[in-house]
Amino acid sequence: MKKFIAFAMVALMAAMPMMAQRHNYGPTPSNRYDYERSHSRWIRNYYGKDMYFGLRIGPAFSHVSGDGITYAGSSKTGLHLGGVVGFEITNRAPVFFETGISYVNKGGKGSWLGHNVTTSLSYIELPLVFKYIYYTDLGLSIHPLFGGYLAVGVDGSIKNYDTHEKTSAFGKDSELGLPRFKRFDGGLRIGCGVGFSMFYLDLSYDIGLANVCHNDYDSSSNGTFYLNFGVNF
C-alpha cells in the first residue's frame, strides 16, 4: 500500500504541468462580460462544459469520540487519496453535485487501561456533496460545499505500544480486550474549496453519525478534518 501511495503522489505531481499546458482557463474580457450578465452562462464559457473530473490528495486528521472511547480520543494523521466527478444540476445557478471514490486513513491515539494505544482505520469512501461554485474576475473560484459521505472499512489495526501487541480493528471480539469497530461509517461533510485555473485546494470536515464501535458504546463516531490538494479537468 505504501508503494501504491508513493506512486500515486508522483503521478499526480507529474500530471499537473502537462494538464496545465493543455488547458488555458484564464479569463478574458468577453468571459468577464458574460459573467456580469449571467453567472451560470459565464461558467459554461469559462470551462466549455457542465461537468468536471478531479484528483485529490492530502492529509486527514481524525479522531474517534464517544462514551468511554478514551483510548482513541486524540487525533491521528493519515492520508486521503481519490478522484471526483462533478455535474451541474441546474442551468439557473452554478450548483454542482460531486461524488467519486477515495481511500482514507482514520483512527485515533490515546490510552486504554494505562496503555498507550493507536487505532488505524482504513476506509473506501463515497462523497455525496453539493457545491456552489462562485467565480471572481480575478480568476479564482470559491467552492462552499455541504453534503455527506458513506464509507466501508477495508483494513485496520489496534496496537498497544507498551506491550507491542497488535490486533485487527474490525470484528466483535479482541484478544487484547480492546473495543473493536464496525466496518460501516457515514455522516455529514462541510467545507470550502478554492480553485485557480485547473488547480484546487479545499478544507473540509466529516461529522460521523454512525456508531462505529461494538461492545457497550452507544455513541462512538469518527471525526475527520481534510486538507486536499488537486486538479480539475
Please give the domain boundaries of the chain with CATH numbers for all domains.
2-232 (2.40.160.20)
Distance between CA atoms of residues 2 and 10, nearest Å = 12
Radius of gyration of the chain (CA): 21
Instruction: Report which residue type is found at 221.
Output: S
Beta bridge partners of 155: 122
pLDDT (0 to 100) of residue 79: 96
Beta bridge partners of 151: 125, 185
pLDDT (0 to 100) of residue 110: 76
Q: Which residues contact 30 (CB under 8 A, 6 or more apart)?
A: 45
pLDDT (0 to 100) of residue 126: 98
Mean pLDDT for each 10-residue chunk of the chain (233 residues)?
A: 46 45 42 45 53 96 75 81 95 92 92 79 97 88 97 91 82 64 94 94 96 70 95 92
DSSP symbol at 72: G
Q: Do residues 148 and 188 make contact, with C-beta atoms less than 8 angstroms apart? A: yes
pLDDT (0 to 100) of residue 208: 94
pLDDT (0 to 100) of residue 62: 94
How many Cα atoms sit within 13 Å of 187 on the Cβ side?
17
Q: Which residues contact 22 (CB under 8 A, 6 or more apart)?
A: 233
Q: Which residues contact 15 (CB under 8 A, 6 or more apart)?
A: 55, 231
pLDDT (0 to 100) of residue 71: 54
pLDDT (0 to 100) of residue 211: 87
pLDDT (0 to 100) of residue 161: 78
pLDDT (0 to 100) of residue 215: 60
User: What pTM value is reported for the model?
Assistant: 0.76
